[in-house]
Structure formats: structure tokens, C-alpha cells
Amino acid sequence: MSMKLHHRVDGPAGAPLLVLGPSLGTTLDIWEPQLSALTEVWRVLRYDLPGHGGSAPAASGLTIDDLARAVLDLVDDDHDDEFAVGGISLGGAIATAIAAGEQAAAPRRRVRSLVLCCTSARFGEPGPWLERAALVRASGVAQLAPALAARWFTAGYDGRWVTDMLDGVDAESYAACCEAIASCDLTGRLPAITAPTLIVAGADDPATPLGQALTLAQGIPGALLRVVPGAAHLASVERADAVTPAIVQHLGGDSSHAAGMRTRREVLGDAHVDRAVAATTGFTRDFQHLITRYAWDEIWNRPGLDRRTRSCVTLTALVARGQLDELAMHVRAALRNGLTPDEIGEVLLQTAIYCGVPAANAAFAVAQRVLSQD
């Protein structure tokens, strides 16, 4: 079954790709609580299910593998390298199918990381899902809102911005997705997943209870399970304060890369960092990751010196080593960090004594050019 899913891409060009899928009845906007944090490091592709948001309707006979192929078509149109993939509920099952469907005979595995939120390898017996499909075909989707709100969120949580998404969902497409869920059983395919996997479960989730999360955790080699207290089925919305850092940490291996990227942008500016990220290749990716984590987080974010002082030290070191291209970049950074042109001149004047007059002469020429442009 061929289909084209509506999607949206956010984040810096050239950054590694992260693909995120929504739950049944919601749109790609379900990932808004995580988007700001994720796009600091990732180029995030979010998609709508058939008949949801901006995607065209779908007919009956839909399967999870059909949806997985449609998502992979989006990836192939946009990206030919490794990518991370994740999803909530039905979106999580689609991500699971993608990660489990990589063939051992393929030249390389493309899924580098997997995030599964409030999802399952098998969503219970098919009967209730087929009954829901029939009900929606007869009465529409919006009438499910009260019942779904009680499953999506714990009592007292106001998630109306999410339940309002039901108003625009095509009934036949919703029913077709119910049928896909009814026939879904990925349990036997879980051991084939090799990507590092984070499983997020809401402690109070009635739709995909903890037992289903444990099945995923036990079936996927090396998977990490994170149970979020005070959350029902849409834990990434209700407890974004807990879920977002867990996802960022899992995707980055640690939080250092995200913190370093934030500082790098604050010091050097978005335009410079965007150019550097866009120019990253498979050959240079590990080096870019290294400097982001160690230079921009573990050094620049240390509390012992403020950024003005670190700029002074950096300017001096670059003059001493004759790194004039880097010096130009850090003259601009020094301005962003609060140094005045006169203070930059004082730093360079002192380098004439300790680094040598020729080195300082070249440095003044670079700084003069930069300062005259800014």
C-alpha cells in the first residue's frame, strides 16, 4: 500500500536526523514539548498518520508495516545516512517495526537509536480495536474525546490542546489505523533490534500498561526502561519535565553534547554553528561531536571562569599558536561574551610581550578586519 505522509522538518541543516511519530488521534504537534530541546542537536522529522493533520486519508487494510514503509519513504527522500527513530503509542509501534525490519543482509544498519514512548509490541486482543473502528465509522472520531482524555492523562490534567486534535481526524483513516493496531504483533521481531533503545512508560497508563513496556524491555537486547510517575498514556506531554531529559540523554549518550551545542551557539552565534553543522560529513562527524562535548561543554561551561575571561584566554592562546582563522572567529565570540573592542585591543597588546611582536601584529590585522565589519 503506497501513501505519502504529511511531515515537517525542524532543526539545523546537516544535523543528524531524528524521526518522530505521533499516537493515534493526534498530529505531529504532539512532540512540541520536546522540540526545542531536540532541535539543538538533531534535525527532527515529524509526520502525521493517514487522515490526521495534513496527511491524506487512507482506506481499510492498513498494516503497521505499511505505515513503516511510508515513514521510510520520507526518510529516503530526505536522508541517506543513519537516523534515529521514535514514537508515541502507534508511532512507537511504527518505529519498532522500522528498527526490527532492518535486514541482516543489508550493507549496514541505518537505525542508530530508538525511542519508544507508551507503546507496545502487541496492543491487546484485536476485538476491542475492531469494535472501536466500527464505532468511529458509525459515529465519527470526536465523540471518543472524553474516553480518550481519561486514558491519555491522569485525573486533573488539562490536555485539551491534545484532545482538540481529534476534531480534524478522518473517521475512515482512524478506523483503518485501529485495524492496523488490531493486527499488530511485533513480539517475535523484538530480538532483531540492535539499536540502543529507550522505553518510556507512564506509571498510570491504562492503554499500554507497564506489563507491555516490560515485554518490550525484555525482548529488545539491552533496552533501557524508564517508568515515569504521575503520567498516563501520553507521558511525553503530561510529564515532559521527566521525559524530555531522558530522551535527550539517550539520544546523545549523555547530556554533554546538548549542553555544549547550546553554549557553542551562544558564544559563536547560530549562523556560524549552522554553517559548521551543514558542512559536517561522515568523515568529520566524530570530530565535531568531540569539540562540542569537550571544548564547549566540559571547558566553556566550567564555573571557575566567566565567559569574558575565557575569551581573553582563548584569544591569547590563538595568537601564541598563530591560528588566525580561529582568532577571527573568537574575536566575534569575545564581542558576544561582553568584551569591548578596546578590551580586545588590550589583550592583543599584552600578547606582543608574551607571544612576540610579529604574532601580535598579525593578530591586530585580523581583529581590525573583524571589528570593522561588526
Give 54-66 pLDDT, tens digit per residue.
999 998 899 999 9
**Start-end of H helices in the chain:** 32-38, 64-78, 90-100, 126-139, 145-152, 160-163, 171-182, 210-219, 235-238, 240-252, 256-268, 270-278, 285-290, 307-321, 324-336, 341-354, 357-373
The CATH fold assigned to 303-374 is AhpD-like (1.20.1290)
Q: Give the residue among 355, 344, 128, 113 at the shortest CA–CA distance from 249.
A: 113
Which triple of cell numbers denotes residue 61? 487494510
* pTM of this structure: 0.71
Which triple of cell numbers denotes residue 200? 518510556
pLDDT-above-90 percentage for the chain: 76
Whether the per-residue pLDDT at 268 is higher than 80: the answer is yes
Q: Give the residue among 236, 263, 271 at the shortest CA–CA distance from 250.
A: 236
Region of residue 53 (phi > 0: left; psi between -120 and 50: alpha; otherwise: beta):
left
Phi, psi (deg, nearest 5) at residue 223: -65, 145
Q: Give the residue among 171, 162, 154, 193 at the shortest CA–CA distance from 88.
A: 162
Question: Cα(120)–Cα(108) distance, rounded to whole angstroms?
Answer: 26
Domain positions in the chain are 7-253, 254-301, 303-374
Question: Cα(185)–Cα(311) distance, rounded to whole angstroms?
Answer: 56
Q: Give the residue among 75, 39, 82, 32 at the shortest CA–CA distance from 234.
A: 32
For the stretch 29-43, pLDDT in tens is 999 999 999 998 899
**Are 111 and 98 a contacting pair, CB within 8 Å?**
yes
7-253 and 303-374 share one fold: no
For the stretch 274-285, pLDDT in tens is 788 777 776 887
The correct answer on CATH 3.40.50.1820 for the domain covering 7-253 is yes
pLDDT band at 97 (very low <50, low <70, confident <90, very high): very high
Task: State CA 19 to chain mean position distance.
Answer: 7
Whether the per-residue pLDDT at 269 is higher than 60: the answer is yes
- Predicted local distance difference test score (pLDDT) of residue 118: 98
**Are 206 and 148 a contacting pair, CB within 8 Å?**
no
For the stretch 317-328, pLDDT in tens is 999 999 999 999
Mean pLDDT of 97-108: 64
For the stretch 125-184, pLDDT in tens is 999 999 999 999 999 999 999 999 999 999 999 999 999 999 999 999 999 999 999 999
**Are 113 and 195 a contacting pair, CB within 8 Å?**
yes
On average, the pLDDT of the chain sits at 92
- Predicted local distance difference test score (pLDDT) of residue 1: 63
Whether the per-residue pLDDT at 108 is higher than 50: the answer is no
**Are 284 and 315 a contacting pair, CB within 8 Å?**
no
- Predicted local distance difference test score (pLDDT) of residue 163: 96
Question: For the chain, what is the radius of gyration of the CA atoms?
Answer: 25
Sheet holding 7-10, edge to edge: 7-10, 43-47, 17-21, 83-88, 111-117, 197-202, 224-228
